[in-house]
Amino acid sequence: MSSRNEKPVQLPMDRTLVVKDTFKQYCEQCTIHGLKYVGDTSLPYVERYNDRLLCKKNNNKDDRLFTRTCNVCFSRVFWVLSFIIAIAGAAYFIWHLYSKFALTPIIISRSSESVSIDQFPFPAVTVCNMNNARKSVAEEIRKGNDPLRQFFLDDICDTKTTSQVPVTEGSGDWDNIYAFLLSVSQNCSEMLYHCKWHGNTTNCTDIFNPVLTDEGLCCRFNSNVQLMFIRRVWENLQISYASDNHIDWNPEYKFTDADPSNAIPWRAYGSGLNYALSLTMDVEVDEYYCSSTASVGFKMLLHSPVETPQMTDFAFTLSPGKETRVIITPHITDADKSIMKIPPKTRHCYFLSEKQLRYYTTYTQRNCVLECEANFTLKYCQCMQYYMPVSNDTRICGKLDDECASTARKIMKTKLYEEDDPRSAFNVTEAPSCKCYPGCNEINYSTEISQSMLMATFEIPEEYFKNDGPYFERNIAIVHIFFVDSSYMKYTKNELYGFAELLSNTGGLLGLFMGFSILSVVEICYYCTLRLWRRIWDYKTTRDKKNQLIVKSFAKKNGVIYPFAQ
């Protein structure tokens, strides 16, 4: 039995009022700041409005009632506006936070750990003589009766000529071009006559191998063996290595103690000149017939062991008669595996497992650009340049295709580095789509170069000297390539905002503006489900009992007996 002081429970008369009453209770008891003032209905709007009119109608000199009513109304409106502004402010900052999370999810930070020079490879070194054709061989070709070789000589020297050999006669065949380049170019044994690696004198042909580049036939040091899927070029060049230990290295590979110290790609044993790669090169000035530039000397490029060098665009020059010191600075970037869940289009980099190339075994941005240029040149001009990764049935671009190949390259550069569509500028129907993002793990090398003159009157080490003094000063170039530090810093790509950071920052903003927390979510769920359902159930049960009492009362009063009345 209920006590006398207990007030009877007054339930709403319909479900709409049940919902309103539940919302009122939530506003009074919730933990969100300011919401209890919004849900305060102790003084309804209609009563306040009538009270105010009553004061004016009776000309009441006492304005206390009017003032109290207006203050209550103003206070509630103030809290409603404040709550709306708080929600808008929180939503604004949360949207900016999410935009940063969605659009710039990657941060590149400096790692706290340094990388020893034995943990990454020594750079690949490619060197080319600027002389495109040896004079003695070129003069024999001019005197001879081989129109095909004369056509190739005009092509490689960019000579204006009226001789045109049709493609069907072999001018577009790679084997013919390859044989011609071998015959007119300076080979590695003639270019490099003294080499020191790790402080030890080494046979130059054991560590340098010929390679085809956009500067013709050049010599390369410390290149990855499995650079291309198409091995036709490398087999014809008869490449050999001083060491039989090879590591299938890529920018994601981590050297271990189990890896042999003399495995290719080679690593530096230490820093300084004593562990440098020292080269003595002969430019053979008297053999110059035509040069790729207006000067005499060498072009050199330091690059990743898994990349094909772009000598024309990025190589630096070395002059004969000078000793050059090249100081290497590696730029190492790795990536945390956690960013793999972010789409490559958003993080702007590829892991090796995400991007495969057709010709190159290892993905790098430069390899991707070269392959894309090769594919587009083949599609646009129906030929490829001789230094591109050509297949057996691919026609090689000749002198007649220079304009088309040059246009294809310009379209490539425009597409890669400009936002405007190059199709309108070059009047083409289709532009290349490369999507050559950088590698998430990559290593690049920058150089600092200093030079000094060589004087034959000084005491020159015997291994550097060749022929007589004048020949030495006119033809010989000495270069030392080395690191100056034993370890270098690296940079790491990581998530700028992970889910935990996004959640904590969002919660901080909601807590700052509204006092919102996880328990506030629980309260909302509770009042919208269990609490509301229970009150509707109580209302329905009470209504059914009340209807039964009405039926019984009516039956007793009128003497009517209902078969289902209890």
pLDDT (mean) for 22-39: 68
Residue 563: the pLDDT is 47
Q: Is residue 98 located within the same domain as residue 139?
A: no
Instruction: Tell me whether residue 33 is exposed, middle or buried, using C-beta atoms within 10 angstroms of its C-beta: 0 to 12, 13 to 18, 19 or more.
Output: middle
Does the pLDDT of residue 173 top 90, yes or no?
no
CA distance 184 to 213: 15
Q: Is residue 120 located within the same domain as residue 95?
A: no
Summarize pLDDT for 110-121 with one digit per residue, the tens. Answer: 888 889 999 999
Other C-beta atoms closer than 10 Å to the C-beta of 187 total: 14
Residue 239: the pLDDT is 58
Beta-bridge mates of residue 131: 291
CA distance 350 to 437: 6
Of the segments 101-110, 140-149, 171-180, which one has the largest average pLDDT value? Answer: 140-149
Q: Examine residue 393 and state whether it is found in any structural domain, yes or no.
A: no
Residue 27: the pLDDT is 72
Summarize pLDDT for 431-483 with one digit per residue, the tens. Answer: 556 788 899 999 999 999 999 998 877 777 777 778 788 888 899 999 999 99
Q: Check residues 60 and 149 and name the one with the higher pLDDT.
A: 149
DSSP assignment string, 158-213 = T--------GGGTTT-HHHHHHHHHHHSPPHHHHEEEEEETTEEE-HHHHEEEEEE
* DSSP 8-class letter at 339: G
Q: Examine residue 76 and state whether it is found in any structural domain, yes or no.
A: yes
Confidence category of residue 544, pLDDT binned at 50, 70, 90: low
Q: Examine residue 253 and state whether it is found in any structural domain, yes or no.
A: yes
Q: Is residue 521 located within the same domain as residue 463?
A: no
CA distance 398 to 526: 78
Q: Examine residue 276 and state whether it is found in any structural domain, yes or no.
A: yes
Q: Which of 209, 223, 409 has its CA nearest to residue 308?
A: 223
Residues of the domain holding 207: 110-364+439-495
- pTM here is 0.72
Q: Examine residue 392 and state whether it is found in any structural domain, yes or no.
A: no
Q: Examine residue 159 and state whether it is found in any structural domain, yes or no.
A: yes
Q: Is residue 261 located within the same domain as residue 337?
A: yes
Q: Is residue 132 located within the same domain as residue 279?
A: yes
Residue 374: the pLDDT is 87
pLDDT (mean) for 130-156: 89
Per-residue buried b or exposed e for 55-79, using 16+ beta carbons within 10 Å of the residue's own CB:
beeeeeeeeeebeebeeeeeebeeb
Q: Is residue 233 located within the same domain as residue 258?
A: yes
Tally of domains within the chain? 2
CATH number of the domain within which 181 lies: 2.60.470.10
Q: Is residue 484 located within the same domain as residue 525?
A: no
Q: Examine residue 389 and state whether it is found in any structural domain, yes or no.
A: no
Q: Is residue 66 located within the same domain as residue 147?
A: no
Q: What integer best gives the mean pLDDT of the chain?
A: 77
Q: Are strands 216-221 and 124-129 parallel, antiparallel or unpaired?
A: antiparallel
Other C-beta atoms closer than 10 Å to the C-beta of 14 total: 10
Q: Is residue 138 located within the same domain as residue 243?
A: yes
Residue 508: the pLDDT is 81
Q: Is residue 143 located within the same domain as residue 78?
A: no
Q: Is residue 359 located within the same domain as residue 318?
A: yes
Q: Examine residue 226 and state whether it is found in any structural domain, yes or no.
A: yes
CA distance 243 to 487: 26
Q: Is residue 142 located within the same domain as residue 257?
A: yes
